[in-house]
């Protein structure tokens, strides 16, 4: 496989003396030559900021990997019209021209970001003397953690699930910066490389586990929920271990996050979730890691709002589907997520999770959730020793979402059903549900009539990657 990397970097106002409200609240302005970039600590910071911003754009987590393409594959939206932008996506027609363009954009953007990270990692050890305080550990740790995150999402899309065939070749794990061929590696080898990077990242980032908003002495160290911080690394470890099938390791990582939750990840209050002004829609205090998207309003307008009279946004679900999702006929009408995170239009309801209306509080702006606390409870529930213990974890989330407790004397099948319900409710428009079904190798994705096979679970490599002679 041949990849040509281009560094896209920013000149953020907060590092040029102009000041800024948020360390990522800046639009791309220019490219910087490599030889100039890595001559100062601020250059390394700029390189990572540029990568974070790239990942928050439409072809990556700004749309395709969260609220758009991947959630369309998970049957989150009403796509029955053949003219719908995700009609062919929801039917797993990967040879369709539009779908192929989505796939190419995802592949190219993530590997471009990986190239940026590899460049940072190849330069940083030889320039360790440039860094003050703990910044060498933080910059290197974040770069390693991001590299693991991106490769893992690529292997989840372009590789077989480990439960099906972890030895099948899938994608390259790219650790050098340049233009060269990289071999396709087996799924399990990619996953092991992700975990190795995360182990190193955890050791480096353990020097500063604090989650903060402001940090006047160094703007880079502010808004750390928008960084791949130590807790995000632990959350990603839990996610990857579960995907691999190692429940013991998954539970250990998830438990570490859960144990820190009272201090670091307090549950959103009902008042904050329902506020008229500065409503906490993404439940910010519960986020282990989110990307800050300065174009989030643009993405919301495109997908979840409409100016048409009696119109409906592009991405909506029917009233029947929404009521079934939140079980409104059996007590679910009090669910904070149902009550506060959907807007009703003429033909159905669309999520308002990403709305920026009446948001003036800087810490609440621009979040695209990537890893959240509730997932750690779902992982702990799935890895619990007994169904009763597992249901106790689910009940913690239910009680904090305004729902009644479920009985804990359940069997394994009931627990699994409750975990799935929670993934559907909690991570709507966040791009995680498709991976849940893939990890389980289910016969179908809920809401679809298509029988799932390798041809539907696994995205084909982009045509130009095949053309440029991927090594077997």
pLDDT band at 18 (very low <50, low <70, confident <90, very high): very low
HSE on the CB side for 264, CA within 13 Å? 21
Nearest to 422 by CA among 436, 440, 442, 408: 436
- The CATH architecture that domain 13-245+428-458 belongs to is Alpha Horseshoe (1.25)
Chain CA centroid to CA 89, Å? 19
Q: How far is CA 382 from CA 45, 373, 379, in A?
A: 38, 15, 5
Q: Is the pLDDT of residue 470 over 70?
A: no
The domain segmentation of the chain, as residue ranges, is 13-245+428-458, 306-349
Q: Is the pLDDT of residue 334 over 50?
A: yes
- How is 302-349 classified by DSSP, letter by letter? HHH---STT---SS-B-HHHHHHHTTGGGTGGG-HHHHHSEEE-SS-E
- Enter the tokens of residue 450: 């298509």
Lowest mean pLDDT of 3-12, 117-126, 265-274, 351-360, name the range: 3-12
Task: Indicate the DSSP class of residue 461.
Answer: P
Q: What is the dihedral of CA 212, 216, 217, 219, to 10 degrees?
A: 70
Contact 195, 240 (CB under 8 A): yes
In this predicted model, what pLDDT tens digit does every residue of 203-233 receive, in sequence order? 999 999 999 998 888 999 999 999 999 999 9
- How is 358-423 classified by DSSP, letter by letter? T---GGGSSEEEEEEHHHHHHHHHHT-SSHHHHHHHHHHHHHHTT-PPPPS---HHHHHHHHHHHH
What number is the average pLDDT over the span 441-467? 92
3-state secondary structure of 132: coil
Q: What is the pLDDT of residue 216?
A: 82
What number is the average pLDDT over the span 249-266? 98
Neighbours of 340 (CB within 10 A): 19
């Amino acid at each position: 496989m041949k990849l040509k990397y281009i560094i896209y970097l920013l000149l953020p106002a907060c590092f040029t003396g102009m000041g800024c409200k948020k360390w990522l609240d800046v639009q791309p302005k220019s490219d910087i030559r490599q030889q100039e970039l890595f001559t100062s600590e601020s250059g390394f910071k700029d390189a990572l900021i540029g990568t974070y911003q790239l990942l928050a754009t439409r072809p990556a987590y700004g749309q395709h990997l969260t609220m758009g393409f991947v959630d369309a594959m998970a049957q989150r939206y009403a796509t029955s019209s053949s003219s719908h932008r995700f009609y062919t996506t929801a039917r797993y027609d990967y040879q369709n021209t539009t779908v192929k363009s989505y796939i190419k954009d995802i592949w190219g953007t993530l590997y471009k970001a990986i190239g940026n990270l590899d460049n940072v990692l190849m330069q940083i050890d030889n320039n360790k003397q440039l860094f003050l305080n703990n910044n060498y550990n933080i910059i290197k740790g974040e770069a390693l953690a991001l590299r693991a995150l991106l490769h893992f999402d690529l292997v989840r899309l372009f590789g077989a699930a480990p439960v099906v065939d972890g030895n099948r070749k899938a994608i390259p794990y790219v650790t050098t910066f340049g233009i060269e061929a990289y071999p396709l590696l087996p799924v399990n080898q990619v996953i092991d490389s992700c975990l190795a990077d995360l182990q190193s990242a955890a050791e480096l980032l353990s020097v500063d586990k604090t989650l903060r908003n402001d940090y006047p002495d160094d703007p880079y160290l502010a808004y750390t929920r928008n960084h791949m911080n130590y807790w995000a690394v632990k959350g990603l470890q839990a996610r990857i271990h579960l995907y691999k099938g190692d429940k013991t390791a998954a539970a250990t990582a998830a438990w570490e996050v859960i144990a820190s939750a009272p201090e670091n990840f307090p549950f959103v209050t009902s008042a904050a979730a329902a506020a008229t002004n500065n409503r906490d829609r993404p439940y910010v205090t519960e986020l282990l890691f989110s990307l800050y998207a300065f174009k989030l309003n643009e993405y919301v307008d495109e997908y979840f709002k409409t100016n048409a009279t009696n119109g409906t946004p592009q991405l909506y679900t029917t009233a029947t589907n929404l009521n079934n999702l939140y079980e409104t006929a059996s007590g679910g009408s009090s669910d904070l997520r149902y009550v506060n995170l959907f807007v009703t239009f003429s033909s159905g309801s669309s999520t308002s999770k990403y709305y920026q209306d009446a948001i003036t509080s800087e810490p609440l702006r621009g979040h695209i959730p990537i890893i959240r606390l509730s997932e750690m409870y779902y992982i702990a529930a799935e890895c619990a020793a007994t169904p009763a213990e597992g249901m106790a974890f689910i009940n913690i989330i239910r009680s904090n979402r305004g729902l009644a407790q479920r009985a804990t004397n359940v069997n394994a099948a009931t627990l699994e059903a409750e975990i799935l319900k929670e993934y559907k409710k909690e991570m709507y428009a966040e791009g995680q549900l498709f991976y849940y079904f893939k990890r389980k190798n289910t016969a179908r994705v809920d809401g679809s009539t298509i029988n799932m096979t390798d041809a539907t679970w696994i995205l084909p490599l982009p045509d130009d990657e095949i053309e440029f002679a991927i090594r077997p």
